[in-house]
Structure 1
Amino acid sequence: MSLGEKIKGRREELGLSVEQLGEKLAVSQELIIKWESGKCIPHLSHLITISDELGLTLDELVKEDEAVKKHVLSAKSLEKWHLAILIYLLAIVTYIGYFAIHNHIFMVGFLVATLFMLSFELKYFITRRISRHDQKE
């Protein structure tokens, strides 16, 4: 049984509407519908509140559904890697500035390439934060 089926089945067992569950979890009805249909996998913080509200253990929610298990494990490690890359690229830009000031050599190509990569990482990081914020609402 998939995670969405478990959420929907347990919600119906408890006699809760999508709207009522949304209020209890402090999320939109649309998000619950996405979870139940399998179009979206809840963030770990939502899985904890779902577990609490529906009286299911995290093991029941996560471990029995391979897609969810994989999503939860990979999302956390991906976020750490993107943050590390973002910090690394900022350090390179700082080094280029330091090198240009002290040695009077400005590495334009290196700076442009680094800023280009930095812009993609910032875009990913910001959109990820916004999507997490939207899921909370």
Structure 2
Amino acid sequence: MHISNKIKQLRIENHLTQDQLAQKINVSRQSVLKWEAGTNYPNIENILALSEALNVSIDELIKTDLKLENKLIIDSKARKYHLLVMLFLVSIIIYIGYWFLAHHILMMGFLISTVFMLFIELKVFFTGKLLEIF
């Protein structure tokens, strides 16, 4: 059984409407609608909230849906990648600071572009969304 069917079944068993479930887990009704229709998957934070709201374990929600399990694994790997990129960018900023303090050479263009990329990586890391940056 896919997670879409599981969410719908558990929501009905708990006598909740889509709107009530959405309010319980602080998402929009459209998100719940998309999850139940199978057009979108909940992220890990929403899966945790769903398991609490529907009184089931996380395993019971996701173990039957291999696509969702794979998506969660890929998302966790992507977060690790973004964390490594952020650490690399911070090390570049430290390197630029060293050159400024030791040799009085300020690489302003390099510093600005590195800080800009760091902010983009922070946004992606904490929100998981790349397209809504600007």
* Percentage identity across paired residues of the two chains: 28
Structure 2 counterpart of 1:7:
7
The Cα of 1:17 is off from its aligned counterpart by: 1.0
The Cα of 1:105 is off from its aligned counterpart by: 5.6
Q: Aligned partners of 2:114 and 2:35: how far apart in 1?
A: 33
Structure 2 counterpart of 1:66:
66
Q: Give the root-mean-square deviation of aligned CA atoms.
A: 2.7
The Cα of 1:117 is off from its aligned counterpart by: 6.2
TM-score normalised over the length of structure 1: 0.74
TM-score normalised over the length of structure 2: 0.75
**Secondary structure of residue in 1 paired with 2:81:** helix
Structure 1 counterpart of 2:78:
78
**Secondary structure of residue in 2 paired with 1:39:** coil
Structure 1 unaligned blocks of 5 or more: 133-137
Structure 2 counterpart of 1:94:
94
Specify which structure has the bigger relative contact order, considering alpha-carbon pairs within 8 angstroms and separated by 6 or more residues: 1
Report if aligned partners of 1:86, 1:118 keep a CA contact under 8 Å in 2.
Answer: no
The Cα of 1:99 is off from its aligned counterpart by: 2.1
Cα gap change, 1:58/1:100 in structure 2, threshold over 3 Å: closer, same or farther? Answer: same
| 1:55-101 Cα shifts (integer Å, max 9, x gaps) | 33212211211111112222223213212211211211221331244
Structure 2 unaligned blocks of 5 or more: 130-134
Q: Aligned partners of 1:118 and 1:130: how far apart in 2?
A: 18
Cα gap change, 1:60/1:103 in structure 2, threshold over 3 Å: closer, same or farther? Answer: same
**Which of 118, 123, 134 is equivalent to 2:120?**
123
Q: Aligned partners of 1:97 and 1:4: how far apart in 2?
A: 51
**Secondary structure of residue in 2 paired with 1:15:** coil
Residue identity in the other structure for 1:59: D
Q: Aligned partners of 2:2 and 2:114: how far apart in 1?
A: 38
